[in-house]
C-alpha cells in the first residue's frame, strides 16, 4: 500500500514586525515532491486600503495570480481527501477514451484554489481583525482542467457593502484561466466578509 500524502494549512505567528504578531499568516504546505509551479503559499500579500476607499474598487480588475501546474498527483490527493474517485480524474488510461482525452481535475479542486490563488490579488481594509469566506453567489464550470495544464486566477471586485458597523462584504468575480485555452475553467462570484 502506498503511503498517503496530505495537505495541511499551518498557522504561524511569524511576522517581520513584532507589532503584527497577533495576525497569523496562513501557509498551505503540501507533502508533494517539490516542483516548479506546483506549490501554493498563502501569505498576507493583499493590498491594504482604507475602509472609505473600499467602494472605489468596485469594477476594478485586481490582476492575475502566478500560473499553477495541475498535475496528476494533486488530483489523486484531492480524490483521496474527498472520496471522489471517478475514473475521469484518476484513471489515466480509461480517461483517454473519453472526450477529454485524459484525466481532468475535479471541478471542486479547481474551485478550492480560489483562496490561495487570489490571496496576493485581493484588497483588505486597514485595521482588519479577520476575514471569513461568506460563500458564493454563483459559479459556472465552463471548461474542464486537463491534468498537466497550468491555471491562474483573475480577480475583479464586483460589489462592496457595509453589512453592519465594522463588517464589510466584498463580492468578487474570480475567473480561473487555463493556459492556452480560450475559455476559462470557471467564473465564480465569491463573497468575503471583513471585520474591522
Q: What is the pLDDT of residue 185?
A: 98
Tell me, letter by letter, the H, E, C secondary structure of the chain.
CCCCCCEEEEEECCCCCHHHCCCCEEEEEECCCCCCCCCCCCCCCCEEECHHHHHHHCCCEEEECCCEECCHHHHHHHHHHHCCCCHHHHCHHHHCCCCCCCCECCHHHHHHCHHHHHCCCCEEECCCCEEEEEEEEEEEECCCCECCCEEEEEEEEEEEEEEECCEEEEEEEEEEEECCCCCCCEEEEEEEEEEC
Q: What is the pLDDT of residue 19?
A: 33
Number of domains comprising the chain: 1
Residue 159, domain CATH: 3.10.129.10
Q: What is the pLDDT of residue 63?
A: 96
Q: What is the pLDDT of residue 94?
A: 97
Asked whether residue 60 is domain-assigned, the answer is yes
pTM: 0.78
Asked whether residue 27 is domain-assigned, the answer is no
Mean pLDDT, the chain, integer: 83
Asked whether residue 5 is domain-assigned, the answer is no
Asked whether residue 137 is domain-assigned, the answer is yes
Q: What is the pLDDT of residue 47?
A: 83
Asked whether residue 2 is domain-assigned, the answer is no
Instruction: Provide the residue range defining the domain that includes 109.
Output: 45-195
Asked whether residue 57 is domain-assigned, the answer is yes
Asked whether residue 34 is domain-assigned, the answer is no
57-109 tens-digit pLDDT: 999 999 999 999 999 999 999 999 999 999 999 999 999 999 999 999 999 99
Asked whether residue 167 is domain-assigned, the answer is yes
Amino acid at each position: 500500500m502506498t503511503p498517503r500524502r496530505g495537505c495541511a494549512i499551518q498557522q504561524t505567528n511569524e511576522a517581520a514586525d513584532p507589532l503584527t504578531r497577533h495576525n497569523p499568516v496562513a501557509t498551505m504546505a503540501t507533502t508533494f515532491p517539490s516542483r516548479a509551479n506546483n506549490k501554493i503559499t498563502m501569505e498576507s500579500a493583499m493590498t491594504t486600503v482604507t475602509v472609505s476607499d473600499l467602494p472605489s474598487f468596485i469594477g476594478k480588475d485586481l490582476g492575475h495570480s502566478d500560473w499553477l501546474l495541475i498535475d496528476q498527483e494533486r488530483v489523486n490527493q484531492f480524490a483521496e481527501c474527498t472520496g471522489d474517485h471517478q475514473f475521469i480524474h484518476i484513471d489515466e488510461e480509461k480517461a483517454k477514451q473519453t472526450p477529454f482525452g485524459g484525466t481532468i481535475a475535479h471541478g471542486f479542486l479547481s474551485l478550492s484554489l480560489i483562496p490561495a490563488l487570489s490571496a496576493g490579488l485581493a484588497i483588505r481594509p486597514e485595521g482588519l481583525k479577520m476575514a471569513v469566506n461568506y460563500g458564493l453567489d454563483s459559479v459556472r464550470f465552463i471548461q474542464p482542467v486537463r491534468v498537466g495544464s497550468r491555471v491562474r486566477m483573475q480577480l475583479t471586485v464586483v460589489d462592496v457593502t457595509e453589512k453592519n458597523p465594522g463588517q464589510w462584504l466584498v463580492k468578487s468575480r474570480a475567473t480561473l484561466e487555463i493556459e492556452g485555452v480560450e475559455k476559462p475553467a470557471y467564473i465564480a462570484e465569491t463573497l468575503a466578509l471583513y471585520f474591522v
